[in-house]
């Protein structure tokens, strides 16, 4: 299993958190998602067939692009 924690500056409220957790949670292979509006972080754990590029692309698609770097 792989895990990643990223900064997501667009998170501003509980609705954002629920949207991220719901959308990423539906991805095949994603085992856990935790978003936090206070820290503006998303933690994701996954295994195949999911991969980080697809998860990051979905975050961007739903309006919450991760800050890489």
Q: Where are the domains of the chain?
A: 2-61
State which fold the 2-61 domain adopts.
Answer: Alpha-Beta Plaits (3.30.70)
pLDDT computed for residue 68 by the predictor: 72
Q: How far is CA 50 from CA 43, 44, 56, in A?
A: 14, 11, 11
Give the pTM.
0.91
Q: For residue 8, give the DSSP letter.
A: -
Q: How far is CA 26 from CA 21, 38, 68, 69, in A?
A: 9, 24, 23, 26
Mean pLDDT of 30-42: 97
User: Is 37 a residue whose pLDDT tops 60?
Assistant: yes
Residue range 38-63, pLDDT digits in tens: 999 999 999 999 999 999 999 999 99
């Amino acid at each position: 299993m792989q895990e990643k924690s990223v900064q997501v500056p667009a998170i501003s409220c509980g609705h954002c958190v629920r949207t991220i957790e719901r959308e990423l949670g539906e991805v095949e292979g994603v085992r856990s998602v935790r978003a936090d509006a206070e820290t503006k972080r998303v933690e994701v754990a996954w295994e195949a067939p999911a991969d980080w590029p697809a998860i990051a692309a979905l975050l961007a698609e739903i309006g919450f692009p991760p800050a890489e770097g």
